[in-house]
Amino acid sequence: MHRPGWAPEAIDIERPSVARMYDYFLGGSHNFAVDREAAHQVLAIMPEVPLRAQANRAFLRRAVRFLVDAGVRQFLDIGSGIPTVGNVHEIAQQVAPAARVVYVDTDPIAVAHSQELLAGDDQTSVIQEDLRAPDRIVANPVVRDLLDFREPVAVLLVAVLHFIPDSDQPHAAVASIRDALPPGSYLALSHANIEDIDAHDREAGERVYDRSDSTFVSRDTAEVARFFDGFTLVEPGLVWAPLWRPDPGSNTTGAEQSIMLSGMGRLGG
C-alpha cells in the first residue's frame, strides 16, 4: 500500500483511527482513505459532526484561556490529537509566554506531528502514552522534566474519555491522576453524550467506531460528573460545550446539538 511520506512506519493504516477521523472532521489533511471512508459513514448518519468538533475545540480554547487567567502555567493535555489550529501551547503561550505544556496521545500520527511541530520548543513536549496507564504518564521523565507537580497543573481530557469503556476503568484512571496533583490544580474535560440521538442512528454510528482503533461510549451527566470526584466544579458546572463560559455575544442556541458535556473542576486547598 502507498504510504504517504509523513506516516511513521509502525502504524496500522488499514484500520480507521479516531485521531485521524477527527482530523478529517476538522478539515485537516493527516488522514488516510480508510479514515475518510469511516468519517463519511459517520457523516451520512450525523452530518453535524464537524460542527460538534468545532464546538469542542472552541470549548478547549475558552478553557485554556480561563486557566491562564486563573494563573495556571502548566498543562497536561491527554488525548491531545493531531495538531490543528489553536493548539493548547499556542493559546496558553500567547497570554503567558512561560506556560509549559505536555501533550499525550496513543496515536502515533498525532505524536509524530506534534513532535514535528514542537521541534526546538523547550517549553512544550509530547509523549506517546495511554490514559489507561495513568501512573506511567505521571511518572514519565518528560512530564516530570517539564511540569513541576508542586505547582498547580491543568489536566485536559478533552473528547477522549468517551473512547475508554468502563471495563478499562476510566474513572479510576482520572482519580489516579488527580491524586498526583497539588491543590489549586484543575481538570477540564468534554465528553460525548448521545442519549438524545435517535437509537437507530446512535447504533449505526457506534458500529463505525467499533471498526476503528477505539470503542465509543456515551455517558450520561451523572457518569461524566463522577470524573470530577474530589474537584469543585467551576461555574457554570457541567454543561453543553457552547454554554461553558461563552464568549460575549456568541449565539448558544441549540447548544445541546454539540453533544459534548463540558466542565472544569478545581482541586481545593
Ligand X SMILES: C[S@@+](CC[C@H](N)C(=O)[O-])C[C@H]1O[C@@H](n2cnc3c(N)ncnc32)[C@H](O)[C@@H]1O
Note the residues at the interface with ligand X (CB under 6 A): 18-19, 22, 56-57, 60, 78-81, 104-107, 110, 130-132, 158-160, 163-164, 214
Q: Taking the complex as a whole, how short is the minimal distance between the CB of residue 110 and ligand X, in angstroms?
A: 5
**CB of 246: closest distance to ligand X in angstroms?**
18
Residue closer to ligand X by CB (options 120, 202) is 202
Asked if residues 12 and 30 have their Cβ atoms less than 8 Å apart, the reply is no
Do you find a cis peptide bond into 236, omega within 30 degrees of 0?
A: yes
In this structure, the number of other CB atoms found within 10 A of the CB of residue 220 comes to 11
Pairing relationship of beta strands 260-267 and 231-233 according to DSSP bridges: antiparallel
Q: Which is nearer to ligand X, 64 or 99 (CB)?
A: 64
Contact between residue 95 and residue 61 where contact means Cβ atoms under 8 Å apart? no
Closest CB to ligand X among 163 and 244?
163
Pairing, β 231-233 against β 124-128? unpaired
Whole-number minimum distance, CB 183 to ligand X, in Å?
A: 25
Indicate the residue whose CB is closest to ligand X.
81
Main-chain phi, psi angles of 136, to 5 degrees: -65, -35
Smallest distance, Å, CB 184 to ligand X?
Answer: 23
31 or 80, CB closer to ligand X? Answer: 80
Q: Which is nearer to ligand X, 93 or 190 (CB)?
A: 190
- Residue 170 CB, nearest approach to ligand X (Å): 9
C-beta of residue 104 within 8 angstroms of C-beta of residue 80? yes
Taking residue 8's Cβ as centre, other Cβ atoms within 10 Å add up to 12
Local structure of residue 55 (DSSP, 8 states): H
Q: Which is nearer to ligand X, 74 or 183 (CB)?
A: 74
* 122 to 55, 67, 92, 168, 264: CA distances (angstroms): 30, 21, 15, 33, 27
Least spacing, CB of residue 62 vs ligand X, in Å? 13
